[in-house]
Amino acid sequence: MCFPFPVQGESTPLTECKVRPSDQSHRMSRIETTRQVMAPELRDRSQEPAALGMIGESAALASVYERARLVAQAPNTTVLIVGESGVGKELAARAVHALSARRDAPFVAVNCAAINESLLESELFGYERGAFTGASQRKIGIFEAAQHGTILLDEVGEMGPGLQAKLLRVLQERRLYRVGGVRPVELDVRVIACTNRDLRLSVQEGSFRQDLFYRLNVVQIEIPPLREREGDVVPLAKAFLGQFAEEMRKDLRGFSRAALERLIDYPWPGNVRELRNTIERVAVLTPGPVVGPEDLQFSPVFGPQQDLDPSASDEQTLAEVERAHITRTLSDCHGNKSRAARLLGIHRTTLAKKIEEYGLG
């Protein structure tokens, strides 16, 4: 549908609703029309989800994009992006940056889990010459490297307590001291933090500072696991296959119906990352041109658990098997419900309901 009247002071009538040739045309033309009415400036194609690398047709992904777009307009607001590993948290962080006025300044990502705490401090804040043995010259840290741009603190939940306190100060004061430094450096950086942990739980357990949690959690973007995002698997798989076919210069035209059904039925515990890797493997190994179900191999190690209780007898009802399996998984995870939910391949709230239903709480 088009709206042949001026919107928000625009002088040209909005009659040119372009029909997109892609298989997303249906949903996208609807969204596009809405956006034209709400925010005409967004007709810039470079700001659309696909241009930002965000593929998918689920309502969940559309609302992730919408949040990213909104928060992009508040260039100093801290964002916390939560979701399982591989759901696209970093991609969403990059989208926030690309949609914001900071887009021409650097986007710098640091994985807080990958570096030990003392190194992480000098990585983040830099150091002055002579700050410690071996510091033969001043080094600029990641925060300063991101000046005027965006810093992504990935896996922020893994940060140790000492560094949490320092990060909190930097976020509050918007300035930092390099290690061994006495003069503050003023910062103009947007902070985005990502985590696959339930940080509220970490706060309850005492491993994450509550004040830092609130400081980071100003605007939250939650990205649901792929198995809960109806409408994303197929367009993602097709797009990845297209990308790899082009990269490998192979004639891979698409998936058979049965292959698509297998892709849709699989729970994707490793989310979009696992899907991408699976399609890459398929693209390498399959002769093509059409990918069949026999070409698809899912990772057996992290796949859904098949081995239910070996002592379970034939007489058990499905509910009894489920109850026993949840009990055992909870115990394996020492009562950590987020981890248990992840292992079980269900959402935390679904697990909470089942715990209540089976009286396991």
Ligand X SMILES: Nc1ncnc2c1ncn2[C@@H]1O[C@H](COP(=O)(O)OP(=O)(O)O)[C@@H](O)[C@H]1O
Q: Which stretch binds ligand X (CB under 6 A): 15-23, 85-93, 327-335, 349-357?
A: 85-93
**Whole-angstrom Cα distance, residue 317 to residue 307?**
16
The 8-class DSSP code of residue 20 comes to P
Binding of Mg ion at residue 66 (CB under 5 A)? no
Largest CA distance in the chain: 74
Which amino acid is it at 178?
R
Residue 53 within binding range of ligand X, rule CB under 6 A: yes
Q: CA 360, CA 294: separation in Å to the nearest integer?
A: 40
Residue 188 near which of ligand X, Mg ion, none (CB within 5-8 Å, type-dependent): none
Q: Which residue's CB comes closest to ligand X? A: 88
Taking the least distance from each CB to Mg ion, the nearer of 70 and 91 is 91
Residue 85 found at the interface with ligand X (CB under 6 A):
yes
Q: CB of 195 within 8 A of CB of 80?
A: yes
What three-state secondary structure class fits 281? helix
Partnered with residue 175 across adjacent β-strands are 186
What tokens appear for 39 in the block?
């925010």
> Using the rule CB under 5 A, is 197 a contact of Mg ion?
no
260, interface contact from Mg ion, ligand X, none, CB < 5-8 Å by kind: none
Residue 90 interacts with Mg ion (CB under 5 A)? yes
Within residues 265-284, the interface with ligand X by CB under 6 A covers: 272-273, 276
Q: How many residues bind Mg ion (CB under 5 A)?
A: 1
Residues 6+ apart with CB under 8 A from 256: 290, 291, 292, 293
Q: CB of residue 91 vs ligand X: minimum separation in angstroms?
A: 4
Q: Does 320 bind Mg ion (CB under 5 A)?
A: no
Interacting partner of 86 out of Mg ion, ligand X, none (Cβ under 5 to 8 A depending on kind): ligand X
Q: Which of ligand X, Mg ion, none does residue 96 bind to, with CB < 5 to 8 Å depending on kind?
A: none
Which residue's CB is nearer to ligand X, number 91 or number 201? 91
Q: Is 87 in the site for ligand X (CB under 6 A)?
A: yes
| Whether 109 contacts 152, CB under 8 Å | yes
Nearest to ligand X of 277, 316 (CB atom): 277
3-state SS string for 102-145: CCCCCEEEEECCCCCHHHHHHHHHCECCCCCCCCCCCECCHHHH
Q: Which of 7, 91, 168, 333 binds ligand X (CB under 6 A)?
A: 91
Q: Among 101, 200, 198, which Cα is nearest to 150's?
A: 101
Amino acid at 199: L
Which among 236, 241, 228 is positioned nearest to 292, based on CA atoms? 241
The b/e string for 317-350 (b: 16+ C-beta within 10 A; e otherwise) is eeeeebbbbbeebbeebeebbbbbbbbbebbeee
Cis before 21 (ω within 30): no
**Range in contact with ligand X (rule: CB under 6 A) among 81-89, 159-167, 308-316, 320-328:** 81-89
Shortest spacing between CB 230 and ligand X, in angstroms: 14
Q: Mask of contacts with ligand X, 5-44, x by CB under 6 A?
A: ----------------------------------------
Q: Which does 269 bind (CB under 5 to 8 A by kind): Mg ion, ligand X, none?
A: none
Residues found near Mg ion in the complex (CB under 5 A): 90
Residues found near ligand X in the complex (CB under 6 A): 53-56, 61, 83, 85-91, 194, 236, 272-273, 276
